[in-house]
Chain A
Amino acid sequence: MTTDMMTLVLSINGEDRAVVFPAHHTLLEVLREECGLTGTKHGCELGECGTCTVLVDGVPVLSCLELAAELEGRKIETVEGMQRGNELHPLQAAFADLGAAQCGYCTPGILMAAKALLAHNAKPSVDEIKAALAGNLCRCTGYHKIVQAVEWAAAIARGEGGYAPPREAFFGAAPPEDGAKGARDG
């Protein structure tokens, strides 16, 4: 196989980087292999799982389907660009605190998709959150903690510092009264 190499400058997380890569390589490959930005993951490399989601000009894209060669001059954002200094982005903090990242493998992609959602919808409903993230599979969480984390982060981002997820999100629902009474546990 002959490999045509390509050199260009990509703007990643606000930093310009000169990269040399095989011309047929995807953005996913270039991010992970040439730039060392391994925060972006892959679950299929076929556009099926959403794990590789990054933002290009603020829009979520599947980096496994995107040719890096076509992205000169575009604004690429990955999970590594979310923090401000050593401060977590509200989404990151909420994901960490709610256990919305279990194995954490789907997390970077979901964070990016959620970030794009919050950028144009400061107060998304549960259905809007689900719709925005429906292209991202998560095998661990059952999705609930992720939705709750996005709601939480959205509130923080709106400046509603007093908002916290309902108690049930952390402790489960209180077993109904007669639950305890009628128990027959031998």
Chain B
Amino acid sequence: MASRKGTAPAARPKERAPGAAPKPAPSNTPPATRPGAERARNIIGKPFRRVDGRAKATGQTKFADDLVFPRMAFLRLVRSTVPHAKIRRIDLDAARALPGVLGFLTGAEMPEPFGILPVSQDEHVLCPDKVRFVGDPVVAVAALTEDQAIAAALAVIVEYEPLATIASVEEAIATPEPRIHDYGDRGNLHKIVSMEFGDVEAGFAAADHVFEDLVFYEGNTHLPMEQHAAVAVPEDTDRITVYSSTQTPHYLHRALAKVLGLPAARIRVIATPNGGGFGGKSDPFNHEICAAKMALELGRPIKITLTREEVFYCHRGRHPVLMKLRTGFTKSGAMTAQHLQTALDGGAYGSYGVASTYYTGALQTVTYRLPRYRFDSVRAFTNKPPCGPKRGHGTPQPRFAFEVHLDKVAHALGIDPAELRLQNLVPANSVTANWLKVGSIGLGRCIEAVVAGSGWRERRGRLPRGRGLGLACGAYLCGAGLPIYWNHMPQSGVQIQLDRSGCVAVFCGETEIGQGSDSVVAACVAEILGVDLKDIRLCVADTDLTPVDLGSYSSRVTVMAGNAAVQAAERAREIVARGAAEELGVPASRLAFAEGRVFDVEDPARGLLFAAAVAAAESRTGTIGTTGSYIPPRSPGRYRGAGVGPSPAYSFSAAVIEVEVDEETGLCDVVHVWIAHDVGQCINPVLVMGQVEGSVYMGLGEACMEEQAFRRLPRARSNALVHKFPSLLEYKSPTFADMPPVTTYIIEDPDPNGPFGAKEVGQGPLLPIMPAVANAIFDAVGVRIDQVPIGPHMILHALAQQAKGKEARFGPKEFPEFDFGIPLAVRTPDEGGDGTASNQEEAKVRKGIGTMTERKEALKGGS
């Protein structure tokens, strides 16, 4: 790569040590009630055709692979065929001689590491010296046609020197050397977390019963229908536009600047509408950066589209997690303490893994009152595709464990599982033991809805053997309270431009991945300005033109971009109202904006068309533009790790699922799903329905069939770790035929932090599905399956145990012996804590050199 001298490094905000909270945000928290909020709404809460609906139903939406540019050439990656090895030799000669070949890239040309998290900059665009999983990219080749690029990639010869492979957390704990990475908390363990909120042992001592469960959640993958694709278009020797199917154009922008050594201002990233994301397109990826580098080298547009097999290798999906859960209960069913241990199989790179690790514990406290809580976790590096965030990011696994555990506890205590949950609900506007601030909570209403709808009270436990009902709940974030790079800047911004045409141009960095974020932003603006959705022109996800929005992840867009849109629109309305007021001779406070008009509420006939009102304002104030931005409220937690879990608001869901189990075959058929989701306030109910139904679908896939699993080839055949099924046919996902009827209840418990009270709906409704299926199987045939996906062999095994009078269960048998060290000790709000840890230093020293920043510091000090 060209020397980085002479090009200014991309501006990067100073990284702050986790735990040191940022300064209070400038106050832009939206008021709980807005002027005009009492007026009837025209758009919000009513079903409308999504703004991109027509383009999507006509095939006009341009996805990344649909883009074509003059002189465009094609890129292909040569990926590792072995799971862990040193690269001994790369031979490009044969490939170079093939027709149409334009050029190659290898790891040596892009030495700068990257990664989504500042603490895990552990990826290289192309592996410089060693490969860490089957699929790790080693060489990139460009050619005139895609066929030629494929042929050339096949002709590249890479020789490897195999290294021992690590396939599981247990192996990683037992095998500290050789290390997959030369950083991480210990040996091959990427991250170790231990924290205790309140005196958990005292809590167990005060309990009448202590229950313990071991649960395993197999990994699974996002499987978006669109394979990742990117097109890089050079505009000069040092200026480039990258179109990509990414959920996070802002973070791709950062990674491109870092690796290419170009100022970020010379790089434009445009996120094309994603053909599904689910978290699978939220890391910056090798192929995107490679395409940009190659385009700059060759001076022509470069396109790369991954094959379906490659998408399985990119992964970043659900971590396989083994969990041990202990909870103390009083006789009456109140919780006294919980100790959760999780072990995550992280795959070969960091990705979002540090956050995922914390997320396997953080949200255990927001549904049911948990006075004391201890959480230990370890994330291991293994020689498999990296795991990361998939819908629910880190929370479906412990939620599954918790909800199955609660079902068992309810049975043991003789309490109806629905009652047990209802009597333990977290109160609204409270702070949990781990210092998360819960605002609105409609969980009780959710439980009551599905209980009534399913006939739970009359039917549970009374259905003929083979039929059963299971209940479970869940909660999710409406965006992470802290950004990935800690800074004081907005997490979402919106800019509005108005002119005499009456067109409202709205610019926002948000990224449409199918969830309907374009429609949310448009609806917020149209509602406030009283215009038709068709009069809104959206420009989104373009790092040159649109204000930064951090991306479509952690269910953040409705709350964050929505609030920013509301603020920008209210400011625009103020300007227009001033102009219209003068024009009409009516005080601005008396003006209403609706149905494309600005009019006097006391004399509605007296008014202006919206375009005329804008013209009146434009002629008085000049060109009209406003901005809005959003920064979440500060969270009360101050301990190391407190950055994961806080959110402006939490969504809640409850589900009852009915199953039919065939005891001959072990097949479990899901007969009906009742689900209720507390969305705060619908922006567009028909899209809320779609998100709920889509989440139920994906949850059923995870519960019953989906697994991203690996196997070792026999020792005689390299002992390599290979993906069991990198294909759509073998990776089972539910089809039309598998989808049961779903009854959806939308519960609206508006949250003051949401735009119009709205909360998220894209991820939360997935959470109760998996445990509700497992609990229903118990109701049907009396066996416990403490593992997902639940296969027929598991049910048959447990039934056989049952027949023998043994423990009727299928699931993991032990949690690995592991020393998590001294937990970070944090007093709870109830104990009069202040949100800090009392032993921050002690707990840190124990682990030695932890984060990558600390390690760099230590290395610097030593040299």
Residues of A within 8 A of B (CB): 1, 3, 22, 32, 36-46, 48-49, 51, 78-80, 82-83, 88, 91-93, 95-108, 111, 129-131, 133-147, 168-186
Contact = CB atoms under 8 A, between A and B. Distances in A.
B736 A46 contact: no
Contact of B728 (A48, A78, A91, A178): A48
B619 interface: no
A105 B694 contact: no
Contacts of B276: 102-103, 105, 139-140
Contacts of B66: 32, 38
Contacts of B688: 172
Interface stretch (B288-296, B441-449, B780-788): B441-449
Contacts of B47: 170-171
A54 to B, nearest CB: 11
Contacts of A108: 59
Contacts of B423: 184
Contacts of B744: 168, 172-173
Interface stretch (B508-516, B536-544, B621-629, B835-843): B508-516
18 contacts: A38-B62, A38-B63, A43-B226, A46-B727, A99-B689, A104-B52, A104-B56, A104-B275, A105-B224, A131-B736, A141-B694, A142-B693, A171-B685, A171-B686, A172-B745, A175-B445, A185-B443, A185-B444
A179 B737 contact: no
B733 interface: yes
A128 to B, nearest CB: 11
Given A104-B273, A131-B736, A185-B749, 11 more contacts: A49-B225, A88-B58, A103-B224, A103-B275, A139-B224, A139-B698, A140-B225, A140-B694, A144-B739, A169-B689, A186-B428
A95 B688 CA distance: 15
Nearest to A149: B57
A134 B151 CA distance: 34
B50 interface: yes
A138 B739 CA distance: 11
A133 B739 CA distance: 12
Contact of B225 (A37, A103, A180): A103
A103 B694 CA distance: 11
Interface of B: 47, 49-50, 52-63, 65-66, 68, 98-99, 147-148, 151, 222-227, 273-278, 307-308, 422-423, 425-428, 430, 441-445, 448-449, 451-453, 513-516, 676, 685-690, 692-698, 727-729, 733, 735-737, 739, 742-747, 749
Contacts of B692: 172
Nearest to A82: B58
B57 A92 contact: yes
Contacts of A111: 57
A176 B50 contact: no
Contacts of A130: 736-737, 739
Contact of B727 (A48, A104, A170): A48
A136 B735 CA distance: 7
Ordered nearest first, which 9 A-B pairs have the shortest CB separation? A39-B59, A103-B514, A104-B56, A105-B275, A186-B427, A142-B697, A96-B53, A176-B452, A142-B693
A98 B686 contact: yes
Nearest to B427: A186
B445 A185 contact: yes
Contact of A175 (B685, B727, B729, B747): B747
A58 B59 CA distance: 19
Contacts of A37: 59
Contacts of B444: 183-186
Contact of B54 (A45, A96, A102): A96
Q: Which of A93, A180, A186 is packed against the most chain B CB atoms within 10 Å?
A: A186
A143 B745 contact: no
Given A130-B736, A176-B452, A171 B746 contact: yes
B452 A178 contact: yes
B684 to A, nearest CB: 8
A75 B349 CA distance: 49
Contact of A137 (B52, B62, B515, B735): B735
A75 B737 CA distance: 30
A147 B740 CA distance: 12
B448 A178 contact: yes
Contacts of A44: 308, 727-728
Chain A interface secondary structure, helix, strand, loop or mixed? loop
Contacts of B422: 184
Contacts of B690: 99-100, 102, 140-142, 145
Given A46-B727, A139-B223, A79 B514 contact: no
Q: Which of A51, A83, A172 is packed against the most chain B CB atoms within 10 Å?
A: A172
A82 B147 CA distance: 31
A80 B58 contact: yes
B407 to A, nearest CB: 20
Contact of A78 (B59, B442, B514, B727): B59
B639 to A, nearest CB: 26
Contacts of A105: 63, 224-226, 275-276, 514
A99 B516 contact: yes
Contacts of A186: 425-428, 430, 441, 444
Contacts of A98: 686
Contacts of B223: 139
B694 A41 contact: no
Contacts of A176: 448-449, 452-453
Contacts of B449: 175-176, 179
B770 to A, nearest CB: 15
B694 A40 contact: no
Contacts of A138: 225
B448 A182 contact: yes
A45 B308 contact: yes
Contacts of A136: 736
A180 to B, nearest CB: 7
Contact of A48 (B60, B441, B729, B737): B729
Contacts of A39: 58-60
B676 to A, nearest CB: 7
B234 to A, nearest CB: 22
B452 A179 contact: yes
A135 B736 CA distance: 8
B676 A175 contact: yes
Contacts of A104: 52, 55-57, 61, 273, 275, 514
A18 B186 CA distance: 64
A44 B275 CA distance: 13
Contact of A183 (B54, B224, B445): B445
A137 B733 CA distance: 8
Contacts of B514: 102-105, 140
Contacts of B516: 99, 102
Q: Which of A131, A142, A178, A180 is packed against the most chain B CB atoms within 10 Å?
A: A142
Nearest to A2: B99
Contact of A46 (B513, B694, B698, B729): B729
Contacts of B442: 185
A130 to B, nearest CB: 4
Contact of B278 (A36, A139, A178, A184): A139
B145 to A, nearest CB: 8
A182 B516 CA distance: 33
A3 B147 contact: yes
A169 B686 contact: yes
A103 B68 contact: no
A38 to B, nearest CB: 4
Contacts of B54: 88, 92, 96
A129 to B, nearest CB: 8
A170 B98 CA distance: 56
B448 A173 contact: no
Contact of B53 (A80, A91, A97): A97
A140 B691 CA distance: 8
A97 to B, nearest CB: 5
A99 B53 contact: yes
B749 to A, nearest CB: 7
Contacts of B56: 95-96, 101, 103-104, 107
